[in-house]
Structure 1
Amino acid sequence: MSSSSSAFSGFPLTYSRRTSIASSTSSRALASGFLARFTGWDFAQEISRFRSALAAGDRVLDAAELRRLTSRLVEVGEAPPGTRAESELAAVLVEEFERAGLAVEVQKFSCASWQEESVVFKVDGKAVRAVAMPPSPPGYVEGEIVHAGSGREISAEGIEGKVALVGMTPEDPDFVAAQYARLAAAGASAVVFYDFASKLVRRIVVGIFASYSNGPGLPPPIPALAISGEDGCQLLRGRHYAQIEVRTRYAESATSANVVAYGGGEASVLLTAHYDRWFTGAADDAVGVALLQLLPKLLRGLRKIAYVAFGAEEFGAPSYSAWYWAWGSRKFVEQLESSGELEELVAVLNIDVAARRPLTVSASGPELREAARELLGGSFTYELDSPYFDSFSFSSAGIPALTTHSLWRYVDLYHTDGDVPEAVDWEAATQAGEAVIRLARELVERGRRALRYEAWREELKAILARAAEYLPPSAELIRLVEELSVEESVARELRRKALAAVCEGDPLEPGLPSCRAFPQFLVIEDLEAIDRFIEGGAGLTELAKLKRRWIMGRVRELPAAAVGYLVPLLSRAGPEGAREYLKRARDALALWLDRAYAETLELLRKLAGRAPRLD
């Protein structure tokens, strides 16, 4: 990054000008002591040893040590953003990084904070274990319990003035926000969620929002609780009366911090995890933070690496924003951008919920996804980045970033009191750490040459080949794709403009978002599904999945052949009637590709005229 007369210039010293535990002088002393202790250490020999071990498939991370560190971290207990517990955990991380000989800076920032003080939930006078859902307001409520359904099947009939009981869904645990908003609007006095796991309780953020926008939202107006599935099922039988007393604290301007540790060089590769958590948070994300503590001694000699533990990942965006998570990493990106240092990053490697196999690598673009696939092989699954992770804060700013995780296989324990060290697959956690070691070495030693930039062109060519089956692209578009020469400055624009977190269905339907490249062409998938039905290779069940699409955070609707909403009508029309209707629909909806071609052509024209390369 930017040069300076100091041996620890650029990225690290940016933070010494901000509030920190260690001053810039003491940080330099720490780093100098680190180097002095290893004077004469043969970096080349050590690197060679680890390369050989990794190539041979030997274990270089100690799973027992990883488990010990994770268990120590979770002893602090729940650490919600902006609370004393989170601050105490940050101090533990500073101590551990300093013990490893790293210079440490603590970058503080303002965040929203919520914390449960106490919850009393009595049913017919008998206490039932319950927790508050963030950021539930405090309050006292009593009244009849009315079952409002579960998952997407919700009925608000007769709910006014009553305590609504509603079931969560494993299809999308975050769907509780939509359930809450609907029941609050119907006049419920409180909402009690029962889990899909029989004996666990879960914390998920609720609010009054219909989509995930970045702007301010409305504060939740009524108490929200969570109980276990087992207790919820007991309440489905007979009539019951509830008494609820919730005590919580909310602060709009609390303080969280990102803990940054570095080994003395100009950091170009960041290894990251988040340290705030709900409940014990062993997999989410104490394992990731423990790996950050172990990796420095395994990556000694690679001075271009910095280690960043983010605060306020689970919650923290002010003003009750619907996009409430990853606040600490977003503030980190903002500050790097304002200082001009963001452009100097080569890559960000994030670890979160690395607890089950097979692990998934969610990468910011085809170039990093394919580079990871070539290096790590077939024991992982690969996809584009997910808005659920801190890596997305960097991806959406154009920076190559990925997260190694198993979130999609950990939904049963996600944000529950069952996310404890005993639930972690330590082989998976160790595999995640070793994947990061391999990726970090490759990216530090080869820099941007490690990225497979040509994968962008291959991805776009494959999309256009499918689109051409319905509407041919222009000769100019074909030429620009063939001539597309992708290097880092072009790739950054593509990450910013050609990648998006896409949701399918109505905002008040369950469903997990996914990151897609050139999302304006997703209508092709709908047209192909319609063709399969016309040709007899698919039924109405597949068509029922075709619904509207929209981009998270941008409040933008995408082209879609949303015939899923017409399935009851198509069913009554019979096979021939349905086929005839869908042929007309397909021919009409294929014209959406004209708009997709125009949008892509405009982007490629701009890229063709882009200037300076980032080498």
Structure 2
Amino acid sequence: MEYHVLHRDKFHREAIAGSEVEHQIASGIKEYFKEYSDWAKIIKVPLDTWEEISCTISFHDNILNCKSMPFTLSGEVEGEPVFADYLGDKIVSNKQVSGNIVFIPFPDDPDDSKYVVLKLYEHGAKAVIFYDVLPGRYRRMVIIGDEDYSFSHGAPSPIPVASIRKEDYLRIYKEMPRRIIFRSNTKITHNAQGYTVIAGINGRGDREIHVTAHHDHWFSGFSDNMVGVELLIQLMKKYRKNWNEHNLVFISYTAEESGSPYFTSWYWIWGSRYYLELLEARNDTSKIIADVNVDAIYTYPLHFNANPSLMDCINKLVESGRGIYDGYNYTDFDSYSYTLHGIPAITLHTLKEMKHIYHTNLDDGREVYDYIISNALETLDDTVRCINNNMPKYRYITKYIKERLGDKTPLEARNLVSKLETINNKINEDASIRIVTRELSSIIYVPSQDGLFTSDLLADVVEIMDKLDKIDQYIGKRIRVKVVDREQFLDISPTNHNKEELIKSLQYALIQRINLYNKRIEDIIKNIVLYKKYEKQP
């Protein structure tokens, strides 16, 4: 296979959304898109961008390089080094944290880094320096100073944060300097512009399948996600002269890693969220049959996270040995922007397998062999062709919901399922899929390190049912669960003292939660019936 963007240095410079490097990479991608498609364009995306100018740690006569964590602000901090680690859900340290600079490993899930920073800040830390348990790597994780996740609010990190290599940490630990100086020189630019590249292969009719990836990346970004961009170009080459099916739209998004304005705490997938909002405003989202997204291709077999309406294709991919179905569409990927608009979507990825190099300087392709990329291309081809020939089906959504709720559901849940099973008698299948996906998708999370973060159809309802079923496992613990941009819907502290009454309380909360969805679906059906009646009037 002849590569276009892989193994070419100009595409593997750190490309932060809104930077000049990102602009250059987007322009280069557009040239390949133009060569292998019927049309191509770039759209500009308003965003916030961040730049690291320098990052150093000084002690004695030594100066060590570090990597500032996005979107750390500029600052200079002097203090005593404190060495910390994790003990269960607690952080322990060799001395007092307050007024000092804390060195600590990245948590098992690096995306939880912000909770570590916020906890150490509450105990008085002046700065936090992360290091990996494996040598040779720097890592960048976005640090937002807000424990919640929201599309509309957030805050910058309250203290400067950086990462160093393990070998540099060991050197500091060995020398035990009394004082160190941490300098972070960075630049934030609000109202900057990122660049999303879009191209099309014209087929038949007015409907289209989107095939997507993102090109912004930390460090060299080989698997995350220049492989994805390469796969889009290779698929265009394959289809360019022999495609006569539904229209295909290929998109390389900006601002998947970061870029949402003014430190909003849901900082990722901003480029795709912005573009889908543009399409929604023009009533163009109805043209989209589905999105096939590619991200984090590092090894095989691939994993599929997808809307259950695509189960025909999911089953075919799994049965043919193409990969593993991991459940509902995953919030980490651009495909989730489509879910927010009710559009069926699937992502092909190996995110779990690449966690050890995720967002590090070692995501440089040294372990990604040609056969891995060839396998991913064949799987992407199979997925697009399958969706083209097998339209999303609503019955798989209702089947999925029934399986998720199980047999031990209250009457209100059965009533909701009955409504969902008849909704497509009143409206077409495509509209049914979009309404139920949009209205019943729920993103829930526990605002803490190692906490839950997931999305699913009726995720909040299923979470309450899980707590009811496993109440004894939570005795002596406090359980807090929130819904993104909504209320905290669960805050319980089960004990043997309150267990009996707490179960009744949870059962009541479950019914109230289901009734909210019942009311939402009833109102939608009512409005559709009224609209149809209005349309028939002379």
Please tell me the TM-score bracket, short chain as reference: 0.7 to 0.9
- TM alignment of 1:279-294, pairs within 5 A: 279-294=219-234
Call closer, same or farther: CA 1:477–1:305 in 2, change over 3 Å.
closer
Query: How big is each residue's C-alpha offset from its partner over 1:1-56, in whole Å with a ceiling of 9 and x where there is no partner?
Result: xxxxxxxxxxxxxxxxxxxxxxxxxxxxxxxxxxxxxxxxxxxxxxxxxxxxxxxx
Give the fraction of aligned pairs with identical amino acids, expressed as a percent: 25
1:550 has 2:482 as partner: yes
Q: 1:93 offset after TM fit, Å?
A: 0.5
Alignment of 1:498 with 2:440, yes or no, is yes
Is the contact made by 2:12 and 2:222 (CA closer than 8 Å) also made in structure 1?
A: no
Q: TM-score, normalised by structure 2?
A: 0.88
Cα offset, 1:371, TM superposition: 3.4
Superposition deviation, residue 82 in structure 1: 0.7
Judge conservation of contact 2:440–2:457 (CA < 8 Å) in 1: yes
Could you tell me whether the CA contact under 8 Å between 2:12 and 2:219 is conserved in 1?
no
Pairwise CA distance, 1:227: 1.0
- Structure with max Cα Rg: 1
| Aligned twin of 2:407 | 466
Residues 215 and 229 of structure 2 are in contact (CA less than 8 Å); yes or no, is this contact kept in structure 1? Answer: yes
Tell me if 1:243 matches 2:181.
Answer: yes
1:348 partner letter: D
Letter in 1 for 2:397: W
Asked whether the 8 Å contact 1:526–1:561 carries over to 2, the reply is no
Q: Partner residue of 2:350?
A: 406
SS at match of 2:65: coil
Q: CA deviation at 1:455?
A: 1.3
**Cα deviation, residue 166, structure 1:** 2.2
The residue number in structure 1 matching 2:535 is: none
Q: Which residue of 1 aligns with 2:381?
A: 437
Q: Counterpart of 1:393?
A: 337
Partner of 1:16 in structure 2?
Answer: none
Equivalent residue, structure 2, for 1:277:
217
SS of residue paired to 2:46 = strand
Question: How do 1:160-175 and structure 2 match up within 5 A?
Answer: 160-170=98-108, 172-175=109-112
Shift of 1:120: 1.7
Matches of 1:246 and 1:331, distance apart in 2: 31
2:430 is the counterpart of 1:513: no
Helix, strand or coil for the counterpart of 1:416? coil
Indicate the larger mover: 365-374 or 416-425.
Answer: 365-374
Q: Residue by residue, what CA displacement relative to the aligned partner does 1:480-514 show, whole Å, maximum 9, x if unpaired? A: 355343711111111111112222x3x13233522
Q: Which residue of 1 aligns with 2:60?
A: 124
Q: Helix, strand or coil for the counterpart of 1:70?
A: coil
* 8 Å Cα contact 1:464-1:473 kept in structure 2: no
Within-5 A mapping of 1:104-183 = 104-150=40-86, 152-154=89-91, 158-170=96-108, 172-183=109-120
In structure 1, give the amino acid aligned to 2:438: R
**Distance in 1 between residues matched to 2:180 and 2:515, nearest whole Å:** 58
Task: Give the C-alpha shift of residue 337 in structure 1.
Answer: 1.2
Q: Relative to 1, partners in 2 of residues 1:232 and 1:142: Cα closer, same or farther, differing over 3 Å?
A: same
Task: Provide the secondary structure at the position in 2 that maps to 1:590.
Answer: helix
Q: 1:594 aligns with which of 511, 518, 521?
A: 511
Is this contact kept in 2: 1:395–1:496, CA < 8 A?
yes
Q: CA deviation at 1:320?
A: 1.2
| Counterpart code for 1:600 | Y
Please give the alpha-carbon distance, in whole angstroms, between the structure 2 residues aligned to 1:234 and 1:455: 56
Distance 1:178 1:370, change over 3 A: farther
Higher strand share: 2
Q: Counterpart in 2 of 1:605? A: 522
1:499·1:515 contact (CA, 8 Å) conserved in 2?
Answer: yes
Which residue of 1 is the match for residue 198 of structure 2? 260
Residue 557 of structure 1 aligns with an amino acid whose one-letter code is Q
Aligned to 2:398: 457
1:213 matched to 2:150? The reply is yes
Question: 1:523 corresponds to which residue?
Answer: 464
CA distance in 1, matches of 2:105, 2:398: 45
Aligned AA (2:328): L
One-letter amino acid of the structure 2 residue matched with residue 253 of structure 1: N
Secondary structure of 1:346's match? strand
Counterparts of 1:351 and 1:235, CA distance in 2: 40
C-alpha distance in 1 between matches for 2:347 and 2:167:
34
Aligned residues: 516
Provide the C-alpha distance between the structure 2 equivalents of 1:429 and 1:451, rounded to a whole number of angstroms.
27
Question: Residue in 2 aligned with 1:47?
Answer: none
> Cα–Cα, structure 1 residues 80 and 476, in superposed 2: closer, same or farther, change >3 Å?
closer
The verdict on how the C-alpha distance between 1:454 and 1:73 changes in structure 2, with shifts beyond 3 A counting, is farther
Q: Secondary structure at the match of 2:263?
A: coil
Once the two structures are superposed, the pairs formed by residues 362-377 of structure 1 within 5 Å of their partners are 362-363=305-306, 365-369=307-311, 371-377=313-319
Q: 1:588 to 1:220 in 2, by over 3 A?
A: closer
The 1-side partners of 2:406 and 2:466 are apart by 13
Separation of aligned partners in 1, 2:493 and 2:9? 47
Cα deviation digits, residues 441-487 of structure 1 (max 9, x gap): 2333x3xx52232112212323444333xx44477546435534371
Query: Following TM superposition, by how much is the alpha carbon of 1:336 offset from its aligned partner in structure 2, in angstroms?
Result: 0.9
**Conserved 8 A contact 2:72-2:161:** yes
**Which residue matches 1:324?**
267
Q: Does 1:489 align with 2:426?
A: no
**CA distance 1:516–1:264, shift in 2 (3 Å):** closer
Q: Distance in 1 between matches of 2:444 and 2:498?
A: 28
